[in-house]
Amino acid sequence: MNPYNISISDKKLVAKNTWELTLQCLETGTLNIKAGQYVRLVIPEIAGGTLENSRIFSAILSSLMFRDRDSKHFGVVFRESPSAFKQYLINAPIGAQMLAHGPFGDFILPKQCLETGTLNIGWVAGGVGIAPFLSMARYATEEKLPYHISLFYANMDKESAAYLPELAELERQNPNFSVQLKFGVVDGEFLPVGDCRALDLVYIAGPMGMADEVKKILAEIGVGSEKIKCEIFG
């Protein structure tokens, strides 16, 4: 897939040491990104090859993008770090250009409900692993999808948790969407046995250590690996 040119159209802090950038595609045609998919950004000005000038981000899609398939905008969210790539994104002016590849990935909502009834889906997010779930929650709410979705969202402290007001608003708008927060280390109390055993699918997105701990907890309470989809962030 050929790269396409994008530019920074907005940037803002959304939590402690956590930035969201809004990016605009400068090419003709549609982006065709599905909620939950990711893109690879490339900053050619950074030396060192793909290890230094390229990073993968889940694409954050707005509700407007689901209504207007011709929309040219999507977002990315990331924690601050001293890496040349992150520092470029933080300090680059509005209008700065880079390249994007994608979209990629199948970390998306299932196409249809089970014939026997509504799917019960669990999302477990750690830190900026909230990104794909924010897009999917917006999409599920906008399209009034019948899935029952439980979001378990973990951060070290409340100040580090991005999008809390919007998640509360989505929970208010969508009776099939619920949010449980955890500030501190993920443990068994965060993932109730009864709730998790009732899930048809579990999506995990976050740092590797957190994801491994969640998979361990799920295995101990009898949730099979065939029900689990996982993406590593960080």
Same domain for 148 and 92: no
Q: What is the CATH number of the domain that holds 13?
A: 2.40.30.10
**pLDDT digit string, tens, across residues 93-114:** 999 999 999 999 999 998 765 4
**pLDDT digit string, tens, across residues 128-159:** 999 999 999 999 999 998 899 999 999 999 99
Q: Does residue 125 form part of some domain?
A: yes
Q: Does residue 112 form part of some domain?
A: no
Same domain for 144 and 99: no
- Using CA of residue 5, residue 11, residue 14, residue 15, what is the dihedral sign? positive
Q: How far apart are CA 69 and CA 64, in angstroms?
A: 9
**pLDDT digit string, tens, across residues 26-56:** 998 778 899 999 999 999 999 888 789 999 9
Same domain for 224 and 136: yes
Domain that holds residue 31: 4-104
Q: Does residue 27 form part of some domain?
A: yes
Same domain for 137 and 226: yes
Q: Residue 201: what are its φ and ψ, rounded to 5°?
A: -140, 145
How many domains are there within the chain? Answer: 2
